[in-house]
A and B are shown apart, each in its own frame.
Chain A
């Protein structure tokens, strides 16, 4: 009887522990997914802002068609693809925007345009939000990936098919110049 009780208690403790471990993994995974949603929101926001920028700039920058085409092209490439491709496209947009704003320096009338100034502020805000959401996402991924590789959680991770998550980063050359200042 006493033996049965002991075994029962131990079993109960183990079950509670397992539930706790499982839930902690679920929570970490949810955080990664939420963090990804944040990046998506910001990428979408920038995606929506770019046409406004192009149309407000077009009239002024008659001689710099290629700069505008670059940003439009980069914008189009963002729509689909793997995470790495998205990260790459995102960095390209950042670069293209940067050159637009650099060129804009030569057009005092444009720079004084109220609408343009607001767009610039919005875009630079979105740009830093993308950087921050990426930072939070990558931190969350790191925490999650670490958790599913450490004993005893790794056993669970295998059992319930918790898979490693990908970092949001462009490998190779595109990786530089993440910090932007317009």
Chain B
């Protein structure tokens, strides 16, 4: 029977292009799980990504911030292989995945889980069918095995107490419940890397705080590497271990929260100050 694998570090996939001898990117690094180098992407006349260099830290919560239309979601889709770059390298656990075939990319995606902005739950399925979807598509598991894993996730994500949750369809769920069901679906196949696309967009402050806690707890409980796309600065500094700012197609600032907060980069200063997180320079102190 085709069983889902336990998360393990995997050898380079067949067909993967090796880096030149001595290339440090070509070895599995204990600290960095994903390393992006010189990533370029254009859509027609629009040059969206202009030589992105980015490192994603293993087992930590990595936040990518930036204004609307700066290419954050495009960058995230590249990490998961949903878009192919014009040029550049994406090293996942020491393997450049850019030259991967569709079949290899399919296998690689099992390492990833993605939580969409508005959860992207399948309307035609109930909660259980949504969460179990990756297992049903990838493995031949018995109904009992699937239900056991679904119920375990419902319990760990505080969804089991929602009355009749299993049979509910997405339109019957609140925004926060949808996010958690979306997270359960992303987690069901035990990914190593979890991508969140603007998880707090459209939520009220309390729900935003709950989602932040959910992301933090998921990273701790499941030991996954989290990559969060966000423009919510309060959330970013609440949950981020490593923060990178994308502006004009490049990563302009990267580092821990304190380093980022201390940065003098004008785009970042403007972003932080307009978010109300700190007072603008020259403003009278309260």
Report whether chain A binds chain B: no
Q: Which residues of A are interface residues toward B (Cβ below 8 A)? A: none
